[in-house]
A and B are shown apart, each in its own frame.
Chain A
Amino acid sequence: MAQPAVEVVDLVKRYGGTKAVAGLSMSVPPGTVTAVLGPNGAGKTTTVETCEGYRAPDAGIVRVLGLDPRSDARALRPRVGIMLQSGGIYPGVKAAEMLRHMASLHAHPLDVDELLDRLGLGPSRRTAYRRLSGGQQQRLSLAMALVGRPELVFLDEPTAGLDPQARRATWELVAELRDAGVTVVLTTHFMDEAERLADQVVVVDHGVVIAAGSPGELMSQGARNTLRFGGPHGLDLTGLQDVLSPDSKASEVSPGHYLVEGTIDPHLLASVTAWCADQGVMPRDLTVESRTLEDVFLELTGRELRQ
């Protein structure tokens, strides 16, 4: 396999006494989109900023394009485009002026006017950064990450604060970047964004990776289907467990509320209802549901993604 574009092994980063990142590992294949997903304070930005060379790891290894982000910074900077979570631009600078300046720092930059038009900033060319709307500021920051034609970009919450239309446009742009062979690492706390965009999702919480894989894998691994039903409390489930396949599990989650987890298919449903008939139990509120990444996340972290 090709050398990973980004490789993080057992990264630890402390701020004072608290560990913002506590032994995080991930690997980003070149030419793919990786979404680092997690709630606020999970350690996403710290991880990304360590990859960008802003912070030195307290322990662990970080390699970006095979290089050390700090000691090889000079060689890396032209090759990596970054979008900070916020700010990074002089308030008084005009949109086109800032982008043109960023372009002038690179050897083969994109055409500045075309890029501004592409991001819907054409009419705001001569507007000072502080007078741009939040969404326009985000897009200018994104343009600055791209103008140098990097082979790898880090986008820290690229769609935070964008309206749905601008979000969609950003998604299209990220897909286009991948098609052009650019490796994209982005952070987000939008589940749908990760599902839509990413080849790989890395779910982070409390500074560690709690799940990783393609959106499909995550759904099928972590998010198994569930079957719920109600009945008298205290039913002996050993008999039910015997007739279920080994990868399924029956439990009484609260008195009178039963949960069967596993691959829920018609055979399993038939087994459950047959067992109920044997017990002389009429199952109430029998429901089959497939859990979403959102549920998996809730289960893994005990928290909502967006608080």
Chain B
Amino acid sequence: MTAGSGTETAPFTPRPGAAPLHRMVLSQTGLEIRMVLRNGEQLLLTVFIPVLVLVLFSSIEFMNLGNRDRRVDFLVPGVLALAVISTSFTGLAIGTGFERRYGALKRLGASPLPRWGLLSAKLLAVMAIEALQVLLLCGVASAMGWSPHGAWYAVAVLLLAGTTAFASLGLLMAGTLRAEATLAGANLVYLFFLVTGGIAVPLSRFPGRVRSVLEALPAGALSNGLREVLRDGSSLPWGPVGVLAAWAAVAGLLAARTFKWE
């Protein structure tokens, strides 16, 4: 190195300081979004499978859902719920589990970004990805002749409540289990909800008692709630919102208590 001005000869002269909080959170959010979009397996789960379910199940006569228009009306709320599950639960849990394994969470824990700032960034990234998924699914659905009903704010409240509930469950899993166990478990739960969450199979096809259990699970609550608004045109359905809020509160508290950063 050549001698020059003070900053060139002594670049390491201490000048510590944290960036403004919003800049830290935005930077972390951007990083999280780029990591998700770069991850092929996760994109398969978040983008491809919901679209596939929508196109395939509305095109073929399946489960006696009625004519094609009725099938689309039934399926769109379901695949929107599936999109929320894939990103805020499965994707978040697997991603966070491996970040924990790789020590990335540990390292960031020593950076000026506070831990709640890191969590906020993760939630913002999840919501950004979900917004892309919703746009894509609504676009595909429109092309198939879908016409939504109900108020958009009600849909937004349901998506937000669902995201909070599933993200809390995902972080609870990622913060306590080994990364491999989270990988397996999160995919299993995704499959379980795909079948029992009122997504492609109406909950009315299940026997009465099983059905009331499934409606109290977050996937059933989210898909039923979305269906009540988007298909049936009802206003904000408080029952499903309450179920999701309860799951969010319980899982969120447990996650906050048990989450291990390394």
Interface, chain A (partner B; CB < 8 A): 52-54, 74, 77-80, 82, 84, 86-93, 97, 101-102, 104-108, 110-111, 114, 144, 146, 148-151, 176-177, 179-182
| Cβ-defined partner of A88 (8 Å) among B11, B14, B102 | B102
Asked whether, in the complex, the Cβ of B35 is within 8 Å of the Cβ of A104, the reply is no
10 more contacts with CB within 8 A, not counting A101-B28, A105-B19, are A87-B103, A91-B98, A92-B38, A104-B23, A106-B112, A108-B16, A148-B16, A150-B14, A176-B12, A180-B12
* Residues of B in contact, count (CB < 8 Å): 33
Interchain nearest-CB distance for A115 vs B (Å): 8
Residues of B within 8 A of A176 (CB): 12
Residue in A77, A89, A180 whose CB lies within 8 Å of B13: A180
Across-interface contacts of A110 in B (CB, < 8 A): 11-12
Give the residues from 1 to 48 in chain B that come closer than 8 angstroms, CB to CB, to chain A. Answer: 10-19, 23-24, 27-28, 31, 34-35, 38-39
A73 to B12, CA, bound (A): 22
Taking chain A's interface residues, is the majority helix, strand, or loop, or is none over half, making it mixed?
loop
Chain B positions 234 through 259: 1 when the CB is less than 8 Å from some CB of chain A, otherwise 0:
00000000000000000000000000
A-B complex: 6 closest residue pairs judged by Cβ atoms: A107-B17, A88-B107, A87-B103, A151-B14, A180-B12, A104-B27
Chain A contacts of B143 at CB under 8 A?
none
Contacts of B10 in A (CB 8 A): 179-180
**Residue ID in chain B nearest A90 by CB atoms:** B104
Given A82-B110, A84-B106: A180 in contact with B14 (beta carbons within 8 A): yes
A178 to B256, CA, bound (A): 40
Closest Cβ of chain A to B101, distance in Å, is 8
Q: Counting CB contacts under 8 A, is B69 at the interface? A: no
B111 at the interface (CB under 8 A from A): yes
Report the minimum CB–CB distance from B107 to chain A (whole Å): 3
Known: A93-B31, A105-B27, A180-B10. A84 touches B17 (CB 8 A): no
